[in-house]
């Protein structure tokens, strides 16, 4: 997949941005900076942007200028000088003097950044140190100008050597340059940041799209697999039913008496047929559970009654193997919302397994009690926990055996379909490896969990938790 | 590249690429130190706390090229604005690398000479190739020089090994110790030479702006305040091809 071209404007920002003084420097701050210069050196400072607009004006009219401006001729002469200073370009050298008829001068200094001109600095008016008397040009402005008064006011104007002003200007320029650089850097950083985020977002979007595509494809494959499994299982079951039925009829002598050896063979056929059928039923169940098409008839039932039924069904098998089977349902075990048939299947499977893997004289103990939730949710963070905690208790059923146990590292895998801890156990103990994966899915289908613990001193405990039905307003008892 | 004929400006973008901590920023720092204040701008570094480059570093160099009279009659010469960027080397900054790489006129690949860094060099080069591809560029057409940096350290690939490796490749290879300032100018000039040669070929700069290709590098060296002759700078490269090198002046 080819990438969309990254943001083109970023290129301009980092490569060829026309830096504008007014964009990068805060005008208020710049004004304050210039005021400190005026306070230090007593010479007015103005800053113009490259397009000629005034950004900072720290100048206030001095007395000589006010005196000159009192006459109309003086005003127009002054305006001509100031206008000239404003519009004069500091040239290639970047530093020129602009004289005033009063004998004072303006210094016009270029502000450059990144090799380009960004504005102008006008320092003045100030009186150069070599000017002492009132120049003739000042007296010529108007007949009303009094020489003594003019001399008096000229002496009050800021006075500076040309080199001093050059140094002051250099200092102000480097302070401004630093401000511009800092502003520029922050600007570039923010633009780069934005562009990076956009680019990362674009990359993630692409990856997401690819993942979604793969996910959709897998989901479709999974659906096909489940449907194939269901079809094949169904097709297998039909002839198998005939095999089981006919072998049963044979073994019951419906087609005449059989010799002992023949009877044994036919019973083996019948028994293995039954095993095959339960495997196929298991596969069908698994397919339904995986595809989410398993229908559960949920109703409020007591776990105790299901467990009692399981125990009574399996007591003969346990007795046959010399295994003690016990049941202990604690008082106060709440009802659960479950499909009783499926729940029975869960515990039949677990208890059957436990009996199978427990040697003679061993014990399989079933117990049920209420327990706090085990989902890891922090109880202190939950709001209203004082009210909700009691309702979040769940029913916990333990199926404990004293059998061979399951190593810790195998405890998650045993719930995978077709997995057996030790493949040799399939031959020794029989089974398809489907049971526990079905059990897990059935338990989860009820909103519950299943986990494995050690049984001291030996054996395994399967712990099944089933949630209590959530209380609803309708079901909560009303206080009259 | 950005050409502004009216403003008589050319903007050139050179990118220093390479694995994390190979010395890209050190190259820029040294370049900054070794060049004259008149032509260089401030070195802009955007770093994280641990001294690693976050987005990029950027060193601007501004050169004034006085050209010859052109047939078209316009004023000769122009301003050459070179911006040298480094990319962040860490793996996770791939998108930033791609952004910085965009529009590059040439790339200097800064490799770490330490033998232990061989894999990182290779991985970063593949990353460069990949990112160029994503940007729709082929590495083949890009002016590219390689620098083996950190020659001052122990456990580095020997000169003979580098010479042998360089002789097999297309790219000019420079040896450097950026922190000491060795080989930094040479690498930059090697890249500038390749980049300018390519741009001149593509945009007829000699004809349009009156800047002769052979005159550009000596002019750049002069303005950057370098004492070494350009031909000496370029001749320090091993392997590869620096097409149309200026004649060594006697």
Taken in order of first residue, the domains within chain B and their CATH numbers are 2-235 (3.40.50.300)
Q: What is the pLDDT of residue B29?
A: 94
Residue A5's Cβ-side half-sphere holds a number of Cα atoms within 13 Å equal to 9
Q: Which residue of A has its CA nearest to B100?
A: A11
Phi, psi dihedrals of residue A270, rounded to the nearest 5°: -65, -45
**C-beta neighbour count of B145 within 10 angstroms:** 27
Residue B99 to residue A6, Cβ atoms within 8 A = yes
Q: How far is B100 from chain A (nearest CA, A)?
A: 8
Distance CA A267, CA A247 (A): 7
3-state secondary structure of A113: strand
Is A6 touching B (CB cutoff 8 A)? yes
Q: Does A196 reach chain B within 8 Å, measured CB to CB?
A: yes
SS3 A133: coil
What pLDDT score does B249 carry? 41
Q: How far apart are CA A23 and CA A53, in angstroms?
A: 13
The CB density around residue A433, as the number of other CB atoms within 10 Å, is 18
Give CA–CA dist A407/A137, Å, rounded.
Answer: 109
Q: Taking the CA of residue A409 as centre, how many other CA atoms within 13 Å lie in the half-sphere pointing to its CB?
A: 1
Q: In terms of residues, how long is chain B?
A: 250
Q: What is the DSSP letter of B40?
A: B
Q: pTM score, two decimals?
A: 0.64
Q: Contact at 8 Å (CB) between B177 and B152?
A: yes
Lowest mean pLDDT among A13-22, A52-61, A136-145: A13-22
Contact B95/A11, CB-based, under 8 Å?
no
A381 touches chain B (CB under 8 A): no
Q: Tokens 């057996």 identify what position?
A: A420
Consecutive H or E run containing B82:
strand B78-86
A359 vs A393: which has the higher pLDDT: A359
Q: How much of chain A, in percent, has pLDDT values that exceed 70?
A: 86
Asked if A342 and A296 touch (Cβ cutoff 8 Å), the reply is yes
Q: With contacts defined as CB-CB under 8 Å, which chain A residues touch B99?
A: 6-7, 10, 192, 195-196, 199
Contact A192 B56 (CB under 8 A): yes
Residues of A in contact with B98 (CB under 8 A): 6, 199
Query: What is the distance in angstroms between the Cα of B12 and the nearest Cα belonging to chain A?
Result: 9
Q: Which residues of A touch B85 (CB under 8 A)?
A: 14
Question: Is the separation of the CB atoms in B63 and B80 below 8 Å?
Answer: yes
Condensed to tens digits (0 to 9), the pLDDT of residues A381-401 reads 456 666 666 666 789 999 999
Average pLDDT over residues B146-170: 91
Please indicate whether, in this complex, the C-beta atoms of A5 and B42 are within 8 angstroms of each other.
Answer: no
Asked if the model's pLDDT at residue B188 lies above 60, the reply is: yes
Residue A69 burial by Cβ neighbours in a 10 Å radius (0-12, 13-18, 19+): middle
Per residue in A168-226, pLDDT (tens digit) is 899 999 999 898 888 888 888 888 888 888 888 988 999 999 999 999 999 898 888 87
Q: Quick check: B81 contacting A, CB < 8 Å?
A: yes
DSSP H or E run through A370: strand A363-371
Two tokens, residue A263: 């009877």
Confidence of residue A340 (pLDDT cuts 50, 70, 90): confident
Rounded to 5 degrees, what are φ and ψ at A291?
-85, -5
pLDDT of residue A381: 47
* B98 Cβ under 8 Å from any chain A Cβ: yes
Please answer yes or no on whether B99 and A188 come within 8 Å at the CB atom: no
Nearest to A15 among B98, B103, B134 (CB): B103
* Helix, strand, or coil (residue B190): helix
């Amino acid at each position: 997949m080819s990438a969309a071209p990254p943001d083109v404007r970023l290129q301009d920002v980092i490569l060829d941005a026309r830096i504008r003084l007014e964009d990068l420097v805060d005008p208020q701050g710049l004004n304050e900076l210039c005021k400190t210069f005026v306070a230090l050196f007593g010479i007015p400072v103005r800053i113009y942007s490259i397009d000629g607009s005034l950004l900072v004006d720290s100048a206030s009219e001095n007395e000589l200028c006010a005196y000159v401006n009192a006459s109309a001729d003086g005003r127009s002469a002054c305006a001509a000088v100031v206008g000239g200073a404003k519009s004069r370009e500091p040239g290639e050298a970047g530093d020129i003097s602009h004289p005033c008829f009063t004998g004072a001068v303006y210094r016009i200094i270029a502000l450059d950044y990144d090799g380009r001109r960004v504005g102008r600095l006008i320092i003045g008016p100030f009186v150069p140190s070599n000017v002492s008397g009132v120049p003739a040009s000042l007296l010529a402005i108007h007949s009303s100008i009094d020489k003594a008064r003019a001399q008096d006011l000229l002496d009050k104007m800021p006075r500076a050597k040309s080199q001093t002003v050059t140094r002051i200007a250099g200092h102000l320029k480097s302070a401004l340059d630093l401000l511009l650089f800092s502003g520029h850097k922050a600007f570039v950083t923010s633009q780069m940041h934005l562009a990076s985020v956009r680019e990362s977002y674009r990359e993630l979007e692409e990856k997401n799209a690819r993942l979604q595509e793969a996910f959709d494809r897998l989901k479709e494959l999974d659906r096909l697999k489940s449907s194939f499994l269901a079809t094949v299982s169904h097709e297998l079951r039909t002839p198998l039913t005939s095999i089981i039925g006919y072998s049963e009829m044979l073994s019951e002598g419906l087609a005449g008496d059989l010799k002992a050896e023949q009877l044994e063979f036919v019973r083996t056929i019948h028994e293995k047929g039954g095993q095959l059928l339960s495997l196929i039923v298991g596969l069908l169940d698994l397919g339904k559970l995986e595809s989410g098409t398993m229908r559960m008839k949920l109703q409020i039932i007591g776990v105790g009654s299901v467990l009692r039924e399981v125990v009574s069904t399996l007591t003969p098998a346990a007795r046959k193997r010399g295994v003690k089977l016990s049941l202990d349902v604690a008082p106060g075990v709440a009802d659960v919302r479950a499909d009783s048939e499926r729940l029975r299947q869960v515990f039949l499977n677990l208890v059957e397994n436990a009996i199978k893997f427990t040697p003679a004289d061993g014990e399989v103990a079933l117990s049920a009690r209420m327990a706090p939730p085990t989902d890891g949710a922090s109880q202190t963070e939950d709001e209203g926990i004082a009210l909700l905690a009691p309702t979040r208790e769940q029913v916990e059923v333990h199926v404990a055996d004293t059998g061979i146990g399951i190593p810790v590292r195998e405890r998650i895998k045993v719930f995978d379909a077709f997995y057996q801890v030790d493949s040799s156990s399939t031959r020794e103990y029989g089974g398809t490896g489907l049971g526990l994966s079905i059990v897990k899915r059935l338990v989860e289908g009820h909103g519950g969990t299943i986990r494995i613990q050690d049984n001291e001193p030996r054996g395994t405990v399967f712990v099944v938790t089933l949630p209590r039905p959530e209380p609803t307003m309708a079901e909560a008892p009303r206080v009259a | 590249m950005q050409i502004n004929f009216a403003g008589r400006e050319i903007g050139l973008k050179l990118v220093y690429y390479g694995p994390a901590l190979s010395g890209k920023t050190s190259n820029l720092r040294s370049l900054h130190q070794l060049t004259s204040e008149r032509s260089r701008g401030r070195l802009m570094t955007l770093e994280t706390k641990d001294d690693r480059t976050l987005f990029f570093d950027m060193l601007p160099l501004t050169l004034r090229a006085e050209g010859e009279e052109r047939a078209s009659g316009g004023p000769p010469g122009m301003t050459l604005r070179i911006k040298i960027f480094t990319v962040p080397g860490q793996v996770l900054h791939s998108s930033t690398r791609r952004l910085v790489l965009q529009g590059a006129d040439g790339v200097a690949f800064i490799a770490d000479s330490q033998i232990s860094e061989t894999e990182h060099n290779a991985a970063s080069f593949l990353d460069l190739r990949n990112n160029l591809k994503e940007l729709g560029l082929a590495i083949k057409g890009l002016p590219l020089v390689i620098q083996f940096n950190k020659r001052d350290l122990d456990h580095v690939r020997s000169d003979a090994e580098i010479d042998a490796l360089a002789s097999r490749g297309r790219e000019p290879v420079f040896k450097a110790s950026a922190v000491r300032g060795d080989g930094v100018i040479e690498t930059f000039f090697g890249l500038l030479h390749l980049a300018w040669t390519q741009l001149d070929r593509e945009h007829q700069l000699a004809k349009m702006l009156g800047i002769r290709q052979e005159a550009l590098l000596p002019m750049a060296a002069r303005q950057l305040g370098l004492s070494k002759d350009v031909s000496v700078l370029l001749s320090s490269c091993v392997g590869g091809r620096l097409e149309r090198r200026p004649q060594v002046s006697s």
